[in-house]
Amino acid sequence: RKEVEQDPGPFNVPEGATVAFNCTYSNSASQSFFWYRQDCRKEPKLLMSVYSSGNEDGRFTAQLNRASQYISLLIRDSKLSDSATYLCVVTPGGAQKLVFGQGTRLTINP
């Protein structure tokens, strides 16, 4: 079983739509949680950290459910520039390494 599981997609949605991604992680000792964004043939870039209380950054909202070991990302009013692969990332307890999901590919259509 993979440590971090994501639906690989692809998700194709029209511009302006709301889209949600989910991810589950297997290690209950995981300490930190992130969403990274990766454009085609580019490096991953941090989109946002995910906190237990949930957090919002503009059009992006992230939620963490530790009991269910589940992380979500909601994108509202999607833009063409949101097209990318979204990576769910966790850090295991006691280590600083990042553990990546396979990524969810999103395409926003005009």
Partner 1 sequence: EAGVTQFPSHSVIEKGQTVTLRCDPISGHDNLYWYRRVMGKEIKFLLHFVKESKQDESGMPNNRFLAERTGGTYSTLKVQPAELEDSGVYFCASSQDLLGTSGWSSYEQYFGPGTRLTVT
Residues that bind partner 1 (CB under 8 A): 2, 4, 42-46, 87, 95-103
CB of 31 to partner 1, least distance (A): 9
Q: State the DSSP code for 80.
A: G
Of the two residues 43 and 110, which places its CB atom closer to partner 1 in the complex? 43
CB of 64 to partner 1, least distance (A): 17
CA atoms within a 13 Å half-sphere pointing along the CA-CB vector of 39: 6
Of the two residues 5 and 15, which places its CB atom closer to partner 1 in the complex? 5
Give yes or no for a contact between 40 and 96, defined as CB atoms under 8 angstroms apart.
Answer: no
Gap between the Cα atoms of 2 and 16, Å rounded: 33
Q: Which residue has the tokens 């991810």?
A: 23
CB of 44 to partner 1, least distance (A): 5
Return the bridge partners of 65, or none: 70
CB of 100 to partner 1, least distance (A): 4
Of the two residues 4 and 19, which places its CB atom closer to partner 1 in the complex? 4
Gap between the Cα atoms of 5 and 3, Å rounded: 7
Of the two residues 68 and 97, which places its CB atom closer to partner 1 in the complex? 97
